[in-house]
Amino acid sequence: MTVINWVFNEEDAPAIDALMNAMRSRIFGSESERKAAVFALAKERQRSWQAARECSFPDCNRRAIPRSHSLSRALMIEPISEAGHVLGLDVDLRSASYRMRRIGINEASTFPGFCDAHESEFEFEGKGAISDGRQLQRQLFRSICRHVYFLRHEKQSMARYIEELRLRALPLLDNELRQAGFRSDKRLVRAYLLEELFGNFELMVAMRTENIAFDMKRWFEPHAANFGRYPGEFGFHDELLRCPSTSVAIATVMLFADAPRRDDGTPDFSFQYYVSFFPNDGAALIHLTALEERRDRLVALAELFSDSEKAALTIQGWLRGSEHWYIRPSAWDKIGREIQDRFLEDHARI
Ligand SMILES: [Zn+2]
């Protein structure tokens, strides 16, 4: 980040401050105007979620179907559904806060992900079971694709919102500056005010751009390169522990942290497992899958999860950092109003 020293005539300082405050209240308007803008933004975000786009597979430029599941419908969504629905996080447009919404199983976890041909790569959907590492990797890949899509979509919405605010601000600011009797260079005052008003927003977009580039390199590229093969060592679980806000986590987790080593010291990836976490009946259901010959390790891991406070905290962290989780409607009802509210408020703070 560059540090800019703004040099103004000292006598102008109070007038510049006053102009800044006036601009702030005029750009963001009254509370009701601000809410209306947030409402419009959220609506636009929902509308554009299923916009036409290309398939997520590298080098595939066919058009994606509008509703690819990123969590397995047969394995993860259906088992926690009631009357064809689950509950998922949603923004309440009127109060600009989070709430839970009933979502049909054909919609839950969907995004415009893959073309018809690539959609059929997730053949375990039809079989109702993930039975080998190759399929695990495919399931993980599609969650990562949605994660990247989510980040890009959020960035786009944010950038559009800032642009809208700038368009609203510029004529007001230029008009004020024309009439002002500053001794300082007005172009400098203008640049200063724009930086103060929008600098933080622009920084947020720039950071999001960096996040996307990082996640593409860390998650998407290696998984895309390994598609259909056993995965390489992506350190996925280590990353999760360091960064509990990744939204890939709820969907699928490959744990490599204690992968046994072969004689030559390389990790043995015949040992790998897959975690899906569902809040379920007031408690947590953790669904672990591994290759049959590693069943003993899986059982040991399941025991660890049921005892370990750290594991519980990790899962809590995954949920907080992600909008990408779903709950059985009756399970949500059972956890009680106080916990529900705390959960939704926690999420709003992210
Ligand atoms: Zn494709």
Determine the distance separating the centroid of ligand 1 and the alpha carbon of 121, expressed in angstroms. Answer: 10
Determine the distance separating the centroid of ligand 1 and the alpha carbon of 65, expressed in angstroms. Answer: 10
Q: So where are the chain's domains?
A: 11-71+109-224, 232-350
Determine the distance separating the centroid of ligand 1 and the alpha carbon of 213, expressed in angstroms. Answer: 21
Distance separating alpha carbons of residues 116 and 128, to the nearest angstrom: 19
Determine the distance separating the centroid of ligand 1 and the alpha carbon of 142, expressed in angstroms. Answer: 12
Question: End-to-end CA distance of the chain, in Å?
Answer: 24
Determine the distance separating the centroid of ligand 1 and the alpha carbon of 261, expressed in angstroms. Answer: 35
54-88: per-residue pLDDT in tens?
999 988 999 999 999 988 888 778 877 889 998 88
Determine the distance separating the centroid of ligand 1 and the alpha carbon of 111, expressed in angstroms. Answer: 14
Determine the distance separating the centroid of ligand 1 and the alpha carbon of 224, expressed in angstroms. Answer: 12
Determine the distance separating the centroid of ligand 1 and the alpha carbon of 76, expressed in angstroms. Answer: 23
Determine the distance separating the centroid of ligand 1 and the alpha carbon of 221, expressed in angstroms. Answer: 16
Per-residue confidence in pLDDT tens, the chain, 350 aa: 345 567 788 889 899 999 999 998 888 777 777 777 777 777 788 888 888 899 999 889 999 999 999 888 887 788 778 899 988 888 776 666 788 899 999 999 899 999 999 999 988 788 766 666 567 667 778 877 887 898 899 889 889 888 888 998 999 999 999 998 888 899 999 999 999 888 888 888 888 888 788 778 766 887 787 776 544 333 333 333 333 222 222 333 333 334 556 677 765 544 444 444 433 333 344 445 444 555 566 566 656 655 556 555 555 555 555 677 787 788 778 777 887 887 787 666 54
Determine the distance separating the centroid of ligand 1 and the alpha carbon of 152, expressed in angstroms. Answer: 19
235-291: per-residue pLDDT in tens?
333 333 333 222 222 333 333 334 556 677 765 544 444 444 433 333 344 445 444
| Residue 320 · residue 346 · CB < 8 Å | yes
